[in-house]
Every structure is written in structure tokens, then in C-alpha cells.
Structure 1
């Protein structure tokens, strides 16, 4: 089954001679259980791709189906529901709520989804245990290291059992040991069948993925899966 199905996706900014084609007719399929890294220089379109995959923005033209659901023409409220139900986000800047404990941060997506309080706590603790932070559950973000904060963010991304984990430069603010810890968690999650799409400019991070896409001028110019098939 395809978690991501993109057909002729365009994203344009501006009009006339000043128009910028941030995405220029991209088509892509990502199947359930794949681990994909999207790479490219600044201005290549990878950030625009991340925003569209995460339903944080809408395309100018084309179709994007996540788990078989076409998000074209959806309202902001409908897109918010899609994000909460089908997508787990991990950002470079962690995006944790400062005055809320690690446990509370992990519970947050479930609160939006209407999960009862007792179940929220159980599932959040299970997710923190999975990333090795159960003993830090009641600590505030400023009482955790950067690597620990990112592991809380990974736990938060898991609790609604999303179809897709979307990670945007997830190791950009981490030291080498914390990077290794977080990437090890992604490896284990993918081994368990989770679908992961990771945006990165770092070759060593992309190398952990099982499929690498490279973008340039709003197009996918390299797909390692296509190269393997062609070989």
C-alpha cells in the first residue's frame, strides 16, 4: 500500500516573470514501511516538499494522497485533522511546549484527538519508554539535553500511530552522540514497519535511509530506488 502518492505536484509563488516554481511537476510514490531521505541544496524544493507532505501548505496544481486520501481542496480544519491522524512530525527545533513536562508534550497530539486522559498517559509513557526516556517523563524541556528533547519529540510523533513520520532536519541541532541516538531510534522504528520520510542536507544522515531522493530546481533528479530497479 502507498502511504504517499503524488501526481504532477506544482507549487508556485508569485505571478508572471517573477513567478517561482518551488515544485515543478513532481510525482512520487512512497510505500508503507519505506525509509526515505530527501536531499537537496538550499532552494532545491525540499522544504516546500516537506510542507506539502505535512499538509502545512497546499499545492498550486496536482494531487497528493496520504494513505489513499486526497488532500486537494481540503479546508484548514480538515488538513489539521489529517495532520493529527496520519502524520507524526519531528522538527529540527524540537517544538516542545516549555512549561509542559516531557509526558505532557507527548500526550498533546492525543488530547487533540480526544483520547481519554488515562489512555493518553499510558500511551505516552509507552512511547517515552520506547525512546529510552521513561525516567525523565516529568522533567520540563529545559531540564533535558538537546538529544533528550529530540527523543521526546520522536515519542510525540508516534503516539497516534501515524501512517507517516515526517522528520525535517531532525539532527540539525544535535551533537554527534545525540545524532547517533536519534538515528538509531529511526532505524528501529523502520525495522518495526514505520514509514519515515526524512529531510536532510547531511550525507551521513541520509545514508541511514533505505532510499534517497535528490531535488534540484523543484524536481526530483535522482531516486536511488529507480537506480536499483534500472540496475
Structure 2
């Protein structure tokens, strides 16, 4: 008898999620019944203007906030039933965050910054160092491991942040306006890394209001007034291999 194998669940399965802040006449409906399914290896840009609900959706996807109603499964796990401690573990293991403002620790080296999620996860020092060095090499910063953030350009700092997001080998790479603080050259460098990571099979969700960032994705989801008004697949700009040793500063 042939053994049946069960298909893996989608990375994101968001079902009719609503988010309301406040009560009564002052209530703000940030999300109004959003449903979104993201399969493994997908490369999605979530777009919207200020007030569209994209930041609220990002916080829910990243397990930083909870919906007022609806359901959310992350890699098959119903995060709505987890307590804070278990939610923190899931967030640390399954999601790699990349923020607009980098969020690096100022007086720590690039290597130490990248090691942080592994330290929180209880990984031993030698293994932390090995994995952090590999992640920094993957984003083209093998020669900058001892540099502190103030010794790096904005583009290099964002690549350190990207290495930190990758070092735990997360199920989902979640990036909030990843080029928002960068000049055009550094933005191009960072987006080429995302493209290469997508080409290698990573699951990526970008939150952005910039068309030139969104055009790198395979799929664009557009929010207006807390609702999905567009969900289309497109041919992405394309990418380079994930190891970006030649990218500029």
C-alpha cells in the first residue's frame, strides 16, 4: 500500500480578518474582512496609501497584534489560540522581520546584531557565530562583520538587518518598507537581494507604498479602506542569486 503524503499548509492563511480600534462612534475600522492566502515560495507586495490598513495587516501577519475577528494560521498554526510566551516563540522561529529603520543595536558589531535572534532562541555560541557569518556572507557583508552600525552606510545597515532576519531560517520573510530610508542605489541593491532570495524559494511579503518596490514581487495585493481591492500576479523584475557579494555600498 502506497503511503500518502499530506500537502504542507500555506505559509499564511488569513480568513475574513477585521480589526477595530475604539468603540461606538469613534471606532476606527482598520481592516474590514481581509482574506489572504500565501503559499510557500510566493513573493507578495502588499500596497496601500496611508490609512489603507496595510500596517495593521502587517502587524497581524507578524503576530504583533491580534484581529478583532476572523482567523489567522501561520504555517498551519492557529496563532489566535497561543498565549504570549508561545506566540513569542512562533514569532522568533517562523518570521524574519526587516524594518524600514533597520532596528540595529548601535554599539554592537554587525555579527553580534545578526546573532541576537539565535541567542534569544538558546543556540550555542559557536553555532550562532557560524550561522551569522553565513547570513552576512549571503547578503554581501562578509568583510564588514566587525563593523558597528555607525560605520556602515544605510544600505549596508539594511543588509545587516536582512541577514538578521534570515539567520533563523524563518518560514516567512516579512519586510516593512525595506527601502524607505535608502537612496536609489542602495534600494536597488537591497531589492536585488530580495529577488535572489525569492528565486531560491524563500517566502517573502513586502509592505510598501512604492510601485518600483512592488514591481519586484510576483504578486501584488492592494488595500483601500481596510479591504483588498486588487490581488494580481505579475511578471517580477527578476533577481540575482541570493549571495550578493558584489552589491554596492
Instruction: Please classify the TM superposition score into its range, dividing by the shorter chain length.
Output: over 0.9
| Cα distance in 1 between the residues matched to 2:173 and 2:117 | 14
Aligned-pair CA distance for 1:73:
3.0
Report the Cα distance in structure 2 between the residues aligned to 1:78 and 1:49, rounded to whole angstroms.
21
The residue aligned with 2:21 is: 13
Give the match's secondary structure for 1:213: strand
Residue among 77, 85, 88 paired with 2:93: 85
Query: Among 187, 211, 231, which residue is 1:179 paired with?
Result: 187
User: What aligned pairs does 1:58-97 form with structure 2 within 5 A after superposition?
Assistant: 58-97=66-105
Unaligned runs of 5+ in 2: 1-8, 236-249
Q: Normalized against structure 1, the TM-score is what?
A: 0.96
For residues 125-177 of structure 1, what are the alpha-carbon distances to aligned partners after superposition, in whole Å with 9 as ceiling and x for unaligned? 00000000011001100100000000000000001110000000000000111
The superposition leaves residues 14-72 of structure 1 with CA deviations (integer Å, 9 ceiling, x where unpaired) of 11111111011111100000000000010000000000000011111111101000100
Structure 1, unmatched stretches of 5+, are: none
Would you say how many aligned residue pairs link Structure 1 and Structure 2?
Answer: 227
Q: Which moved more, 1:31-40 or 1:13-22?
A: 13-22
Alignment RMSD? 1.1
| Aligned-partner Cα distance in 2 for 1:156–1:113 | 13
Out of 153, 158, 161, which is 1:153 matched to?
A: 161
For 1:221 and 1:43, locate their aligned partners in 2 and report how far apart those are by CA, in whole Å: 14
Q: Which of 16, 32, 43 pairs up with 1:24?
A: 32
The whole-number CA distance in structure 2 between the counterparts of 1:63 and 1:110 is 29
Question: Counterparts of 1:73 and 1:41 in 2: how far apart (Å)?
Answer: 31
Counterpart of 1:189 (choices 197, 204, 220) is: 197
Instruction: Report the Cα offset of residue 206 of structure 1.
Output: 0.3
Query: Quick check: which one's helix share is greater?
Result: 1
Per the normalisation by structure 2, the TM-score is 0.89
1:119 to 116, 122, 127: 127
Residues 97-136 of structure 1: pairs in structure 2 closer than 5 A: 97-136=105-144
- The partner residue of 1:223 within 205, 212, 231 is 231
Equivalent of 2:178 in 167, 170, 175: 170
Q: Which residue of 1 is the match for residue 41 of structure 2? A: 33
